[in-house]
A and B are shown apart, each in its own frame.
Chain A
């Protein structure tokens, strides 16, 4: 029994940063912008959060640094994707390399001997009753971030004007433009939302879970978030379930031996990607990728 509780608690903890990052990316992708650079955004934010927290001794200020870094990174991505209309795949992949380079360089030069040292972080909230349920034993930052995920989910649902506008821009930007929607502004807003959530995800990973920075500490978390968006077929609730499943699959790597289950780790590691492949293949139901995903918009004539 306790092994199952451990598994769920571990799974939720692993799922939180993925879900936070994915919910921001979902907004971008619905408007037609693919941020492969999500991995780099989360990594940069994690670094900034650790650096800020170490300098100020305040995890709250550290979180702000992380969010700021996420926003700056996303701002650059938005200029390249929306205004300059660069190829989103190239820029995304190169931006991830850039983030890996900058953070590895920064941790050597700025942190120096303090590399990998623990910085002030967040502890699980001591809320009476809630604290007794292992699955809910999360930090305040996690609760704030999750609340924002819910806000995004409600504001961006297809029952609001905003949600419809997001989908309209992502379905056909030219038509949305003729209907009077500010296509570029919507897309800028969406990418910056991704940056905000990526910043929180990075801070959550670095300050609530690890309390330190190590090179490439996200190791694919951002890509996993993109995969969750795909596996959830660009809808909030299925995407949340996908994140939870991915988290549990990751946690299972550590708890499976204790539960007496002997599964090769690699099978657990690849399961999210196989599920996402199934979801986009159209073999199980219709896939609903935004029609204009990764297609830049320019007003003709």
Chain B
């Protein structure tokens, strides 16, 4: 019986119950009936094609960031830099996308996505290099690079010489020009839904990464490095190269998420365009506990909860912060119980 109590799924279920109870408490304290709040939350998650589309688009971003995180985690590296990598990926994608006028979508969309992946990978590189050459903790460097990345986006959209749209009046917002029509991510074509092919892309990436990690020699090598870098080096594995590649891969997928973000309506790069997907993706990656299926499940949960929370505030007048509280309690209780579950499995 204790093994069942210590199963990760049991812990996740108990954490969900706890978080849901606190969420219900927040709803009651705001003076709203739980029924009204529940139906507003449900409508915001699954009520309309629009809600489902928005949720799927967000989940896609989280799958990409979280999936990349898992790859780096496999070699024992913690990538806190998702937010910065999203920024640089989006910056590169925007630079390509606004200049892609006249290109057909079959060319422009892959170009934009590749630019995003490359941008994110490049942004992970300084952290990877410092880690393998100087032994500097990647936790600290990727954290710092987040803020530099956010600053660079701000710089790019405020400077006319960079990506700012032509200033025609005092009201011109500091943001980029919209991406050329050919560079927009195609819609999935579900009725009146804003869901783009991003979710398909993300699921394909998740399956690909899952196969890479579980079914290939490369995956085994990454795992060996993560278990013990000195032992892996004794076996003749190129530890340095594997570590750098895995962190660059994590950066690349976050950059890809950045590209998908700017290639989705409203198709512009602006200050604060990412609204924390990097940090949320990190949490999704951690909750997935090394499994791509776990990452997809956590990303869907967070994606749907995000859009449900907005509706909760709009319709039921419950502060959207309630969803933030519920999500973070979920994460803290699962993280707090990790030792408890790990001891059972070892």
Contacts and interface: CB of A to CB of B under 8 A. Distances in A.
Interface of A: 34, 36, 80, 84-87, 89-91, 93-95, 97-98, 100-102, 104-105, 108-109, 220, 223, 226-227, 230, 264-267, 269-270, 272-274, 276-277, 280-283, 287, 289, 293-294
Interface string B136-176: 11011101110110011011001100000000000000000
Contacts of B152: 266, 270
A118 B282 CA distance: 37
Given A274-B148, A277-B148, 9 more contacts: A80-B332, A93-B283, A98-B324, A104-B319, A223-B143, A227-B144, A230-B140, A273-B151, A281-B141
B286 interface: yes
A226 B152 CA distance: 21
7 contacts: A34-B139, A80-B336, A86-B332, A98-B325, A101-B328, A105-B30, A277-B145
A276 B324 CA distance: 30
Interface string B279-290: 100110010000
A101 to B, nearest CB: 3
B335 A280 contact: no
Contact of B141 (A97, A226, A280): A280
Contacts of A269: 147, 151, 154
Contacts of B310: none
Contact of B324 (A104, A230, A277): A104
A60 B87 CA distance: 42
Contacts of B30: 105, 108-109
B233 interface: no
A76 to B, nearest CB: 9
B327 interface: yes
Given A93-B283, A266-B152, A277-B148, A98 B136 contact: no
Nearest to B29: A109
B331 interface: yes
B199 interface: no
Given A86-B338, A273-B148, A102 B283 contact: no
**Helix, strand, loop or mixed for chain B's interface?**
helix
A89 B331 contact: no
B136 A280 contact: yes
A71 to B, nearest CB: 18
Given A84-B336, A264-B158, A101 B147 contact: no
Given A94-B283, A98-B329, A264-B155, A104 B321 contact: yes
B68 to A, nearest CB: 16
Contact of B144 (A89, A101, A273, A294): A273
A253 B309 CA distance: 35
Contacts of B29: 109
Given A93-B283, A97-B328, A104-B324, A276 B144 contact: yes
A223 B332 CA distance: 19
Given A89-B80, A282-B136, A266 B154 contact: yes
Contacts of B139: 34, 89, 294
A262 to B, nearest CB: 12
B18 to A, nearest CB: 13
B52 interface: no
B257 interface: no
Nearest to B127: A277
A289 B154 CA distance: 31
A27 to B, nearest CB: 18
A223 B145 CA distance: 12
A109 B325 contact: no
B31 to A, nearest CB: 8
Contacts of A100: 321, 324
Given A86-B336, A273-B148, A265 B158 contact: yes
Interface string B175-211: 0000000000000000000000000000000000000
Given A277-B148, A282-B134, A91 B319 contact: no
Contact of A101 (B135, B137, B148, B324): B324
B35 to A, nearest CB: 19
A87 B76 CA distance: 13
Nearest to A101: B324
A90 B140 contact: no
**Which 3 pairs between the two chains have the least Cβ-Cβ distance?**
A101-B324, A270-B151, A266-B155
A86 B339 contact: yes
